[in-house]
């Protein structure tokens, strides 16, 4: 395990930590059945019937898993 040779000052520690930033997710806009839907790219989505009951998961138009 790496061990620092000298103590790091508070200002240097905080400056290093301040570089971590949250990134907003990139959403893909699609139109399905007249409704605009935003979804995450490369993720399976849940297919529901007209009553809202989840049926299965779909990716690129193919069924990939049961719910």
Has residue 20 been placed in a domain? no
Residue 16 falls within a domain, yes or no?
no
Start-to-end Cα distance in the chain: 44
Structural domain span for residue 45: 25-66
Q: Is residue 51 part of a domain?
A: yes
36 falls within a domain? yes
pLDDT of residue 60: 86
Per-residue pLDDT tens over the stretch 11-67: 988 888 788 888 888 998 988 889 998 888 889 989 999 999 999 999 988 999 998
Q: What DSSP designation does 6 have? A: S
Residue 45 within any structural domain of the chain? yes
Number of folded domains that form the chain: 1
- pLDDT band for position 7 (50/70/90)? very high
Instruction: State residue 39's pLDDT score.
Output: 86
Q: How many helices (H) and strands (E) does the chain have?
A: 1, 5
In a domain, 2, yes or no: no
Residue 41 placed within a domain: yes
Whether 13 is covered by a domain: the verdict is no
Whole-structure pTM value: 0.49
């Amino acid at each position: 395990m790496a061990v620092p040779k000298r103590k790091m000052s508070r200002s240097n520690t905080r400056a290093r930590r301040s570089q971590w930033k949250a990134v907003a997710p990139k959403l893909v806009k699609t139109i399905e059945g007249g409704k605009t839907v935003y979804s995450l790219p490369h993720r399976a989505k849940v297919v529901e019937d007209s009553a809202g009951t989840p049926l299965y998961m779909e990716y690129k138009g193919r069924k990939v898993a049961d719910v």
